[in-house]
Amino acid sequence: MGWFKRSPWVLHYNATSCNGCDIEVIVSLTPLYDLERFGIINTGNPKHADILAVTGSVNEKSRQVLLNLYEQMPNPKVVVAVGLCATSGCVFQDCYNVLGGVDKVLPVDVYVPGCAARPESIIDGILKACEILEEKYSQRKKTGYPAAKE
């Protein structure tokens, strides 16, 4: 009945971001943007989360943490790459220490562009992610439970 669309809980992880996008993610919870009016909660616990919002160009140190967080989230789950670093690596993509984007590690469902991403576009991206969450749920119901490891 579309309950995922009404109550998506977001886990935010900073994968070596410059903090610009992180501040914008937090800003979207403030009175001006108020993410909670959509029922969205910024949770700190992967086991409660439906959406993983990742900022920053992932490096070798944060890679394992990111994988751990993703694997601890119960299905159905969606990954949102917030900001240009998370989508492609941005100006850091040629650096030797950077993997260049979340999609090198996890299957990303929504890319939110911007350096730093605007709160409006973050909210847009997360609401888009809610629709994908619904799709994933109905697919799971139809085809049965997919393998835990992808």
The yes or no reply on residue 47 touching other proteins (CB under 8 A) is yes
The end-to-end CA distance of the chain, in Å, is: 27
Choose, by CB under 8 A, the member of 23, 48, 107, 120 that binds other proteins. 48
CB of 49 to other proteins, least distance (A): 9
Burial of 74 (0-12, 13-18, 19+ CB in 10 A): exposed
The yes or no reply on residue 144 touching other proteins (CB under 8 A) is no
At 146, list the tokens. Answer: 């997919």
> How many angstroms separate the Cα of 3 from the Cα of each of 6, 8, 50, 135, 137?
5, 8, 12, 12, 10
User: Taking CB under 8 A as the criterion, which residues in 63-92 touch other proteins?
Assistant: 72, 74-76
Task: List residues near other proteins by CB under 8 A.
Answer: 1, 3-4, 6-7, 30-31, 34, 36-39, 42-45, 47-48, 50, 72, 74-76, 137, 145
